[in-house]
Amino acid sequence: MRRVRRIRKQRRRKPLSRRWERKRQMHFLRKVQGVLRHIFSYVPAIVIRVSRIAVICLLAFILVWNLGQRVSMIGDSMSPALKNGDIVLVNRVVYNARRPKRGDVIVFRPKGNENSHYYIKRVVGLPGETVEIIENGIYINGGKLEETYQTTKLDRVGRASEKIKLDEDEYFVLGDDRENSEDSRDADVGNVKREYIYGKAWFVLSPRQDFGFIRSR
């Protein structure tokens, strides 16, 4: 019998140009992978940094919105504590946690009138109390109020010539310069409801000579 030789099929070699092209592509892919790894290695740090900046911006916005609202003092009704033209910072959140206290300097719109400028006065009478002015003295529930801040005389009594009973959401306010102040003694202002109070005046921003905290007591 004749021996049949098995002829192995020879694999055709790829042309040199194709092999070279494939090697070049693989080399390029490795480079891309390396660059991507390098970039992604910074992603956690970038995310952390961006998150910190976002948090700082948010906190700054909250602080400015709640503690840094500015109101201008119009007139000298709060002299000497505040003077005409003083730029005052208002704390808008303090009264969410507590009620206004006697002696606090508050910012409000009289009768809640949105077209009126902000008034800045000092709290004298609290909700539920009776207020009366007798012979240059302020009487709260029949007892004379001793004030520790500087004021002028109470020659004008207005509505407070008779006892004024405050509702559970009302405050009686006066300016420190009692001779030149439009306040709760006047019918146009009257008792100040809690909902009309914008916030507490706590800091004088300018001018420089008046820069500092506002005295509440």
In this structure, are 20 and 95 located in the same domain?
A: no
Where a domain ends, among 40, 67, 94?
A: 67
- Amino acid 80 reads P
In a domain, 7, yes or no: no
Full domain range(s) for residue 53? 15-67
The count of structural domains within the chain is: 2
77 is catalytic: yes
In a domain, 8, yes or no: no
In a domain, 163, yes or no: yes
In this structure, are 45 and 98 located in the same domain?
A: no
181 is catalytic: no
| pLDDT one digit per residue (tens) for the chain, 217 residues | 455 455 455 555 555 566 666 777 777 777 777 777 766 676 676 666 666 666 665 555 555 555 668 899 999 999 999 999 999 999 988 998 899 999 999 999 999 888 889 999 999 999 999 999 998 899 999 999 999 899 999 889 999 999 999 999 999 999 999 999 999 999 999 999 999 999 999 999 888 778 888 876 5
In this structure, are 47 and 133 located in the same domain?
A: no
Where a domain ends, among 49, 67, 85?
A: 67
For residue 205, the model assigns a pLDDT of 86
In this structure, are 122 and 207 located in the same domain?
A: yes
For residue 199, the model assigns a pLDDT of 94
Catalytic residue among 14, 51, 77, 200: 77
In this structure, are 43 and 75 located in the same domain?
A: no
Catalytic residue among 14, 41, 121, 181: 121
Alpha carbons 211 and 207: distance in angstroms, whole number: 6
In this structure, are 138 and 191 located in the same domain?
A: yes
In this structure, are 153 and 200 located in the same domain?
A: yes
